[in-house]
Structure 1
């Protein structure tokens, strides 16, 4: 699916208010990553400092810090759970988030608490389109703005 020139793969779930995608893994864990919209908002990412593996992550609390331009932001988790894995490649090459946010640029993997009860809070693919578009509207997102460093797929 494409929203304002940004790609959002149909096979993923989304947390639009966090600018994150979620992918269910076969082992019951959930992988999180920044969406193309999140990358457009942050611009070039210079560092990602995740919490340590094994840490308990509370819902709406940080799972790491993203540094960009002249600022930093806490990456808040839409889920509570145990941090199972961090993308070690991002420690050396944080630009992978900008280059391949839906692939090699994934950020963390969690073992969520009560995923079966929460999973429907995160719309899958096309069902997320209206929520993503509304988030962009609320943020006054303008993809034509020269300062937006959006990832665009042809």
Structure 2
């Protein structure tokens, strides 16, 4: 959930990766991605802009969220991820890899990186915040939700098939079921249909599945 090789600005939910030539890559955490919901717009500042630590690299928008991306360090903005302009959802799907925000040439890296947290120190406060906010961070961000409480799994799978038929390849659905046989039935269903069970967990009596259409 929080890769070990990164440095984190825990307060602002951003991360930093230092490259061998001292350029840095900046992005947002999976926690921010989950809190924001499905992102629909990314506005990023142009290359050549000088950014002070804590100042915005741009803004992200979803149906329930509009917020800045504060830079964890000071420097010159070298490049932004233009793929986010056309498809901001990449941040939801891959916040630490394909969903990076910007490359920066740092000005005070040796000083400012001491203000950031290593993964081993960041995980506890970030995990605590996830628990406090009741956030679920899955391996894939769902496009749809199915809450099937009190419904037998056979009927749930019929409805899931109906949903899959209207979804595009690459889209995912979050299915919640309280049927005690749900996990076994879901494994059998994925083997029959060839669709992908990307993630699952059990919370109390509820099963949570993330299923992606792959064909």
Q: TM-score range by the shorter chain?
A: 0.7 to 0.9
**1:117 and 1:84 mapped to 2: Cα distance?**
20
**1:19 and 1:113 mapped to 2: Cα distance?**
21
Runs of 4+ aligned structure 1 residues displaced above 2 Å come to 130-134, 150-154
Matched, 1:10 2:7: no
Matched, 1:34 2:21: no
The aligned runs of 1:4-153 (5 Å cut-off) are 7-133=1-127, 136=129, 140-143=132-135, 150-152=137-139
Larger-Rg structure: 2
SS of 2:134's equivalent in the other structure is coil
Relative to structure 2, which stretch is displaced further, 38-47 or 71-80? 71-80
TM-score, scaled relative to structure 2: 0.61
After superposition, give the CA deviation of every residue in 1:52-101 in whole Å (9 maximum; x if it has no partner).
Answer: 00001122211101011144212111211110110111111111000111
After superposition, give the CA deviation of every residue in 1:81-126 in whole Å (9 maximum; x if it has no partner).
Answer: 1101101111111110001111101011111221011212212221
Root-mean-square deviation (Å) = 1.9
Measure how far apart 1:17 and its partner are: 0.7
- Change in CA separation of 1:71 and 1:123 when aligned onto 2, cut-off 3 Å: closer
On the 8 A contact 1:39/1:151 being kept in 2, the answer is no
Measure how far apart 1:44 and its partner are: 0.6
Relative to structure 2, which stretch is displaced further, 11-20 or 119-128? 119-128
Q: Report what 1:3 is aligned to.
A: none
Instruction: Compare relative contact order (CA 8 Å, sep 6+) and give the higher one, 1 or 2.
Output: 1
Number of residue pairs aligned between Structure 1 and Structure 2:
141
Consecutive unaligned residues of structure 2, counting only runs of 5 or more, are 141-198, 200-215
Consecutive unaligned residues of structure 1, counting only runs of 5 or more, are 1-6
- Change in CA separation of 1:22 and 1:101 when aligned onto 2, cut-off 3 Å: same
